[in-house]
Amino acid sequence: MMMNSRQRFADTMQHQEPGRVPIDFGATSLTGMRPGSQEKLKKCLGFSGPAEAESNGIDLRILEWAGTDFRAVGEILDLPRCHTGKVSETAEIDCWGVRRDFIDGDWQITESPLIGSFRRGSKIFQLAPSNC
């Protein structure tokens, strides 16, 4: 039986093995394509002319070719927090404490406060460094 995107996502969230790994290009602020890579991929795939439609700035023809399971819907909620702020013209910290710096033409995560941690119930536990 062929799975649709909703079934694939539901199986993944329930820790069941989907028919294939769900694919995401640009459905969130953390996924997308590096500057210039979209044009190179369009050329390789033989797509010409402007995008017929876009989803979060990515040509819909690429999303359909790749069989992506996710699409951007609305705006991303930016929760107010004491950690949120503009560090400089090229650096920001979001409501989750994640720092992004503008590097090589796009915003890249440079600091993630929860890296190396896991959650059990309402408690967050820090894992030992991987070099231990």
d(CA 100, CA 78): 14
pTM: 0.59
What confidence tens digit (pLDDT) does each residue in 2-38 have? Answer: 889 999 999 999 999 998 999 988 766 667 777 688 8
Q: Which residue has the tokens 């359909």?
A: 64
What confidence tens digit (pLDDT) does each residue in 61-86 have? Answer: 988 898 999 887 766 666 666 767 88
Each domain of the chain, given as residue ranges in start order, spans: 5-66, 85-126
